[in-house]
Structure 1
Amino acid sequence: MKRLCLSVLAMLLAVPVAAQPPVEAEIAEKSAREDVFPQADVAFPSDVVAWPQVEISNLDGFRPVRMDIYAPRDRSKPRPAVLWIHGGGWSRGDARTSGAYANWPAVLASLAARGFVVASLDYRLSGEAKFPAQIQDVKAAIRHLRTQNGALGIDPSRVYLWGGSAGGHLASLAAVTCGAAEYEPQPSTGRLSRSQINALKGTKAPPADDCVQGAALWYGVFDLEHVPSVNVTGLLGCDPAVCRDVARAASPLYRIGKKVPPMLLIHGTKDETVDVSQSKAMTTALQGAGAKAELLLIPDVDHGLTGSTSQATRDASLLALRRTFAFFESLAAGR
């Protein structure tokens, strides 16, 4: 046995060891914090290209805030932009899923194929940060799109929002709180050194505009004070029945001012998660303030536009898409 082990050892020692590459690395003069991982693009039909998980904000103590961006490959002329904000009760969901749509990225790319730059945001969820972190991330995304108008070919005068459920809440809140100081995005200093952060103190460049020119809202939540959901408590960090002033301040229904962009609201009449009365009340309030607001009620479908049959779900989902795309195209054309 000992002789066998020695024979095996001798065989192993006889195998030539492959030469290892030298240890080489590019070294900066000081701590390097930029994300230099190659940003690959993804091709979609109709000559649309997408960039996944683009970082728009980096905050101390949190993961980077990112979004997917879809755009026509041809950026020879300025194009309107649409920012999609996902649902999930503010506590789950992501930028790449919505309702019964089996391939939501393909849906977003199909809107881009119509001449839009489309972004889909992964905002901080309520388990990561309490409100107003979510609306701050939305406004940071709006500003990012405007500051990148040259690289992405965006027309900064035509920026629209689109959200579903909790995303409908955030989209509508952003639309009615243009320039609100309490929702000012947190400074993106996560990649800066302490000396760089200190150098910024006392200097404040004028921020990009966070106003939008329209919003499409699918089965959204507009009155947090009267939604029987544990998700609202998780979002606000308090029971809305107790902290009514906090819930009301975070409710788009009570934040409607004089200058509100056009809005399209879509809701199923059999919604058991967010009652259709939410969209009805929001539409009435918008119209009462002189805003252009249209409400599309889809009969016999539940939350997420799901019906009692697969055909009913398909019909409702396609109807909502067609009306939403037509709404954005109408706004972009100035109609």
Structure 2
Amino acid sequence: MAEPTGRLPDPPPARSPDLSSGSFPGPPPAGFPAPERSPGGARLLRGVEYAAPSGFRPLLLDLHLPAAEAHRPVPVVLFLHGGGWRTGSRGRFGPAFDSWRESPFDLLVRAGLAVASIDYRLSGEAVFPAQLHDGKAALRWLRSYGAGLGLDADRVVLWGESAGGHLAALLGLTAGRPELEGEVGAPGPAATVAGVVDWYGPADLRTMQRQSRPDAVTAADAPDSRESLLIGAPVPQAPDLAAAASPVTYVSADAPPFLLAHGTADRSVPCAQSEQLARALRAAGCRVSLRLVEGADHLWTGLQEQETLFREALEFVLRLTRPAPAAPGDTPETPRIPETPSPDTSESPNPVPPRP
């Protein structure tokens, strides 16, 4: 069966759906797929089209919404999947979380957040900056359509892992740069980026090769590397392209707060990449927290601390998106942090191989 898509000709009126009843008031807004209920109880709009690049597949997002009606617009996590820019899809938070009884998407929703998890064009479909343009189209979509869904487009945190972490960092650092917006999706202003969670993402394509571990699984400078395929040329032969695709190039004093997390034994993306980005952000006077996880490989492979790392990132998001007091002396709402679940050990599925 073909995946449902929702093509959106015009933004819906600025109304907040009654999510407590399990449906929108009346039929779903024009162009939206029928809402579903996720296994964790969240409201789910699956396969909403946020852009349709000419000559390419439609770009879809899944929108995870709180089950109960909120008293005020809810902040949003815009999630970008990993996969070396070559593979991956919006339905997966990362292999380390496949065995969780409750998905990370549902946990974020239970904490009072909405989640927009997006697909973007892969390097086999289009080279950089297509991926950046797709992410920016998603931010504009949130600004255009968020009010009608009860979303707060002024409180959006980007969260990505691996290649998605790279794109999250790029999107956060290039906000307000109209020359980098591209022509994909609807025009208009973008949602406001309140912060970035970057899990083990590349930061500077030009330095990855020399920073790599002796046991690295790939060579970033090779003609067929993920990085070379992303920019459409071998990294050493295209330094300007490599720089344009590197988050460190765009660091400035007005960057949003960053949380960087990286394993010290990462054989795919050296942890020196996150250290380099953290140094650049600090030198520019930006707020950045760097979490180095001793002995962890890429994707948190073999690590038992996924709960801790997820919880730290969730707390970071909630701190950034906590609403300001409505009046002097008011006490802001206390963020709700759900308990993270233990892995589902009722079955013994085949292990998921590490993704390059």
TM-score above 0.5:
yes
Deviations 1:165-195 (A, max 9, x none): 1111100001011122332132448xxxxxx
1:216 aligns with 2:209: no
Map of 1:100 onto structure 2: 96
User: CA 1:239/1:39 → structure 2, altered by over 3 Å: closer, same or farther?
Assistant: same
Q: 2: CA distance between counterparts of 1:295 and 1:171? A: 16
Task: Please say if residues 264 and 294 of structure 1, whose CA atoms lie closer than 8 Å, have aligned partners that are also in contact.
Answer: yes
Task: Please say if residues 194 and 321 of structure 2, whose CA atoms lie closer than 8 Å, have aligned partners that are also in contact.
Answer: no
Map of 2:291 onto structure 1: 296
Structure 1 residue 283, shift from structure 2 partner: 0.7
User: CA 1:141/1:103 → structure 2, altered by over 3 Å: closer, same or farther?
Assistant: farther
Which of 223, 229, 232 is equivalent to 1:234?
229
Secondary structure of the structure 2 residue equivalent to 1:118? strand
The one-letter code matched in structure 2 to 1:58 is A
Q: 2: CA distance between counterparts of 1:257 and 1:334? A: 26
Map of 1:329 onto structure 2: 318
Task: Please say if residues 153 and 191 of structure 2, whose CA atoms lie closer than 8 Å, have aligned partners that are also in contact.
Answer: no
Q: How does 1:112-191 map to 2 (within 5 A)?
A: 112-188=109-185
Task: Please say if residues 74 and 112 of structure 2, whose CA atoms lie closer than 8 Å, have aligned partners that are also in contact.
Answer: yes
Structure 1 residue 210, shift from structure 2 partner: 4.8
Moved more, 179-188 or 84-93: 179-188
Map of 2:45 onto structure 1: 51
User: CA 1:297/1:288 → structure 2, altered by over 3 Å: closer, same or farther?
Assistant: same
User: CA 1:34/1:222 → structure 2, altered by over 3 Å: closer, same or farther?
Assistant: closer
Q: TM-score w.r.t. structure 2 length?
A: 0.74
Secondary structure of the structure 1 residue equivalent to 2:307? helix
The one-letter code matched in structure 2 to 1:291 is C
Q: 2: CA distance between counterparts of 1:96 and 1:138? A: 16
Rg larger for: 1
Q: 2: CA distance between counterparts of 1:124 and 1:188? A: 13
Which consecutive unaligned segments of at least 5 residues does structure 2 have? 1-6, 10-29, 209-218, 325-356
User: CA 1:266/1:71 → structure 2, altered by over 3 Å: closer, same or farther?
Assistant: same
Map of 1:69 onto structure 2: 63
Secondary structure of the structure 1 residue equivalent to 2:158? strand
Map of 2:213 onto structure 1: none
Deviations 1:201-256 (A, max 9, x none): xxxx6x11254110000001000112232011111001110110111121111210
User: CA 1:267/1:306 → structure 2, altered by over 3 Å: closer, same or farther?
Assistant: same
Q: 2: CA distance between counterparts of 1:114 and 1:49? A: 14
1:272 aligns with 2:275: no
User: CA 1:187/1:137 → structure 2, altered by over 3 Å: closer, same or farther?
Assistant: closer
Task: Please say if residues 117 and 152 of structure 1, whose CA atoms lie closer than 8 Å, have aligned partners that are also in contact.
Answer: no
When the two structures are aligned, how many residues end up with a matched partner?
281
Structure 1 residue 151, shift from structure 2 partner: 2.0
The one-letter code matched in structure 2 to 1:181 is P
Secondary structure of the structure 2 residue equivalent to 1:100? helix
Task: Please say if residues 283 and 293 of structure 1, whose CA atoms lie closer than 8 Å, have aligned partners that are also in contact.
Answer: yes
Structure 1 residue 95, shift from structure 2 partner: 0.9
The one-letter code matched in structure 2 to 1:321 is F
Structure 1 residue 103, shift from structure 2 partner: 5.7
Q: TM-score w.r.t. structure 1 length?
A: 0.79
Task: Please say if residues 213 and 262 of structure 1, whose CA atoms lie closer than 8 Å, have aligned partners that are also in contact.
Answer: yes
Q: 2: CA distance between counterparts of 1:236 and 1:154? A: 34
Structure 1 residue 38, shift from structure 2 partner: 7.4
Secondary structure of the structure 2 residue equivalent to 1:321? helix
Secondary structure of the structure 2 residue equivalent to 1:69? strand
Deviations 1:267-296 (A, max 9, x none): 111100000000111111111111100011
Task: Please say if residues 263 and 293 of structure 1, whose CA atoms lie closer than 8 Å, have aligned partners that are also in contact.
Answer: yes
Q: 1: CA distance between counterparts of 2:235 and 2:278? A: 23
User: CA 1:282/1:34 → structure 2, altered by over 3 Å: closer, same or farther?
Assistant: closer
